[in-house]
Amino acid sequence: MTVFHRFFSKDASLYKTYKGQFADAFITFFLLFLATLLSLVYWDISQNAGNVALLYVLALVLIARKTSGYFWSIFASLVGGICVNFLFVYPYYSLHFTFSGYPVTLLGMLAIALTTSTASTSMKRQMQMLADREKLLIEAEKEKMRANLLRAISHDLRTPLTSIIGASTSYLTNNHILNAEQKNELVSHIYEDSNWLLNMVENLLSVTRIQDGVANVSKSYESIEEVISEAVIRLKKRLPDAQLSVQVPDELIMIPMDAILIEQVLFNLVENAVLHSKSDFPIFCYVDQTEDFVTFHVRDYGIGISPDRLSTIFDGTAYTGNSSSDSSRGMGIGLSICKTIITAHKGKINVKSHDKGTEFYFILPKA
Amino acid sequence: MSAKTTIIIIEDEKNICNFMATTLTAQGYKIITAANAKSGLSLITSCCPDLILLDMGLPDMDGIDVINEIRGWSSIPIIVISARTQEHEKVLALDTGADDYITKPFGPSELFARIRTALRHSNRLNTGARLTLRPYEADGLVIDFEKHLITLRGNEIHLTQVEFKIISLLAQNSGRVMTYDTIISNVWGPYADDNNRILRVNMANIRRKLEKNPAEPHYIFTEIGIGYRMLEDKAG
């Protein structure tokens, strides 16, 4: 099996080089043929041998540039030299290597061929190197993002876990001292924190659906009203007291997306709005569209976000800010995950302040 | 309840199993638990339970195979327990013959609702009482299957033939999730194109006729990537 495989793959790579050789040969012959044709036409009109040689030189440069290695350019320079001698130097249609200056012409063409192919080879190599370096840089950037996310997550997960472990331990050990009300409070803390943990885990799971980071989600056409209603129902289950008003266009809009991921984005945005805007006014969630794009808006009428935080709010770095409060924990991760999801859908996510609060919105392409 | 309803829980996570057993016992059900598929299957054959709660991630057998095995000889309702992001697994389980699914993590109220619905539908099958003889009724919506009549708070609602077929199917299985494929093959026939766009369009039209706000539905809910679920019949 492995032998067969190795043989096969060797065969495949051989085939590949054959194919490259074949293409190079084709380019060489085609350009030489073209140069000869043009020269013949030109010769017919003006009888000027000097310009004919120039045409061949031009073909030579192009061949050296387009083919890989030295073989074809040397070959072309020889063929070119012979063609000039044979067709355009007196006596015509016969080879004479003895007349004065001819070896110089031939040597000159060879030199041009060699220098041009050297230059183009090194250029190709440099381009390859640049592309490799770019790839490495992107890879490193991705790695860095992943590491940052991991650090943020483990930090954020520890807080609710501490509270859960603390509350449950105190319930178990002080069972006989605590009164019913205190017990109730402890358990409701556990409930609240585990719900928060669950949300975090859902977010993380949704990121694992995006393989290789960029633009690689499995999309299918989904109706936006169904996605929104799912997000709203999930939110109502999590925060039964949340005030929310939702509006979708009258016509049915279906756009390609991974519905679970977009639902997660909507859920995160609406949940953030409910938890952090500190307003009793309902969150307004609506959709509008242009010819090619659909925009989802989540607008709150709350305390707003300071401008210097707005600019970095999607970077996932918000949590490291000096506002070490529990109130904003995890908000940074949630939003950076939203951004990852929307970017993977080739969309855009943004935030702006309006008179009475903040509005998050994201744009998705219709096709 | 003179004879207690028996439920078998097949779940390998001890904590989850305990939580379900405790809450369900408190509700008056008789609970039998199994930690793997093999013992679960043998318990099912010996006890003949009224309902099966089946976790999809069992150590010794694939959940789908367990459903296949049970469905080979019995129509005991099966509720599948599965994680949120595995839509394909859920659809496969439902199309294999599971009656419904519940997503981890779930609360007691959700669990009770699913169990009630599944039991109600299986009782109807056992006693032979046909739902189609009796109209569907929930929160002001009445669907009379015989007269082809739908009224919302007394006002008649006009649906096309296809729309009526879809909503009757959902209403007759109210409270249960119906997969896209089930609905399509029931409404358009078994050889219909499995592209569900036409279903979405019809559903959007139905919603615009029934719901106050299509984005906050009250009667027909979407289960993304899986299908639709209709508000449970309040009359039965």
Task: Name chain B contacts of A226, Cβ cutoff 8 Å.
Answer: 200, 203, 222, 224
B213 in contact with A, Cβ within 8 Å: yes
Residue A2 burial class via C-beta count within 10 angstroms: exposed 0-12, middle 13-18, buried 19 and up: exposed
Superfamily of domain covering A216-365:
Histidine kinase-like ATPase, C-terminal domain (3.30.565.10)
Other C-beta atoms closer than 10 Å to the C-beta of A41 total: 10
Task: Among A204, A229, A263, A267, pick the best mutation site for testing chain B contact (most B Cβ within 10 A).
Answer: A229
Of A202, A263, A285, the CB nearest to B224: A263
Judged by DSSP in three states, B10 sits in strand
pLDDT digits (tens, 9 = 90+) for B145-173: 888 889 988 888 898 999 999 999 998 88
B104 in contact with A, Cβ within 8 Å: no
B194 in contact with A, Cβ within 8 Å: no
**The token pair that represents A144 in the structure block:** 């860095």
Judged by DSSP in three states, A10 sits in helix
In this prediction, residue B31 has a pLDDT band, given cuts at 50, 70 and 90, of very high
> How far is residue B46's CA from residue B40's CA, in Å, rounded to a whole number?
10
CA atoms within 13 A on the CB side of B130: 4
As beta bridge partners, residue A287 has A296
> How far is residue A124's CA from residue A126's CA, in Å, rounded to a whole number?
5
The answer to whether the CB of A189 falls within 8 A of the CB of A167 is yes
CATH 3.40.605.10, applies to B6-127: no
The chain B residue lying nearest A208, using CA atoms, is B85
Contact yes or no for B213 and A247 at CB 8 A:
yes
Residue with tokens 């020269």, as numbered in its chain: A39
**Between the CA atoms of A339, A342, A346 and A349, what dihedral angle is there, to the nearest 10 degrees?**
-70
pLDDT digits (tens, 9 = 90+) for B92-106: 899 888 999 998 888
What does the domain layout of chain B look like in residue ranges?
Answer: 6-127, 131-230
* Residue A17 pLDDT exceeds 70: no
Task: Name chain B contacts of A248, Cβ cutoff 8 Å.
Answer: 214-215
Other C-beta atoms closer than 10 Å to the C-beta of A196 total: 20
Classify domain B131-230 by CATH architecture: Orthogonal Bundle (1.10)
pLDDT for the residue A95? 72
Please report the ipTM that was assigned to this predicted complex. Answer: 0.80
Mean pLDDT value of segment A196-205: 82
Of A202, A223, A227, the CB nearest to B204: A223
Q: Minimal Cα–Cα distance from B203 to chain A, Å?
A: 10
- Dump the DSSP string for A125-154: HHHHHHHHHHHHHHHHHHHHHHHHHHHHHH
In this prediction, residue A287 has a pLDDT band, given cuts at 50, 70 and 90, of very high
Q: What are phi and psi of B12, to 5 degrees?
A: -90, -20
Q: What are phi and psi of B102, to 5 degrees?
A: -135, 140
Of A223, A245, A221, the residue nearest A235 (C-alpha):
A245
The answer to whether the CB of B232 falls within 8 A of the CB of B220 is no
Contact yes or no for A252 and B224 at CB 8 A:
no
Rg of chain B over all Cα atoms, to the nearest angstrom? 18
**Helices first, then strands: H and E counts in chain A:** 9, 7
CA torsion sign for B130, B132, B135, B137 is positive
In this prediction, residue A320 has a pLDDT band, given cuts at 50, 70 and 90, of very low
Contact yes or no for A248 and B214 at CB 8 A:
yes
Percent of the residues in chain A that have a pLDDT greater than 90, as a whole number: 10
The chain A residue lying nearest B110, using CA atoms, is A237
A201 in contact with B, Cβ within 8 Å: no
pLDDT for the residue A214? 53
B87 in contact with A, Cβ within 8 Å: yes
- Nearest-5° Cα angle at A269, B199 to A220: 30
A246 in contact with B, Cβ within 8 Å: yes
Q: Minimal Cα–Cα distance from A355 to chain B, Å?
A: 26
Task: Among B19, B84, B102, B205, pick the best mutation site for testing chain A contact (most A Cβ within 10 A).
Answer: B84
Of B85, B214, B224, the CB nearest to A209: B85
What does the domain layout of chain A look like in residue ranges?
Answer: 2-136, 216-365
Least trusted range by pLDDT, from A154-163, B12-21, B107-116: A154-163
Contact yes or no for B222 and A198 at CB 8 A:
no
> Mean pLDDT for chain A?
80
In this prediction, residue A216 has a pLDDT band, given cuts at 50, 70 and 90, of low
The answer to whether the CB of A226 falls within 8 A of the CB of B222 is yes
Q: Look at chain B and count its residues.
A: 236
Other C-beta atoms closer than 10 Å to the C-beta of A177 total: 8
In this prediction, residue A315 has a pLDDT band, given cuts at 50, 70 and 90, of confident
Q: SS3 sequence, chain B?
A: CCCCCEEEEECCCHHHHHHHHHHHHHCCCEEEEECCHHHHHHHHHHHCCCEEEEECECCCCEHHHHHHHHHCCCCCCEEEEEECCCHHHHHHHHHHCCCEEEEECCCHHHHHHHHHHHHHHHHHHHHCCCHHHCCEEECCEEEECCCCEEEECCEEECCCHHHHHHHHHHHHCCCCEEEHHHHHHHHCCCCCCCCCHHHHHHHHHHHHHHCCCCCCCCCEEEECCCEEEECCCCCC
Of B84, B200, B201, the CB nearest to A202: B84
Q: What are phi and psi of A33, to 5 degrees?
A: -60, -45
Measuring CA to CA, how many Å separate A270 from each of A16, A136, A149, A297?
A: 54, 37, 22, 10
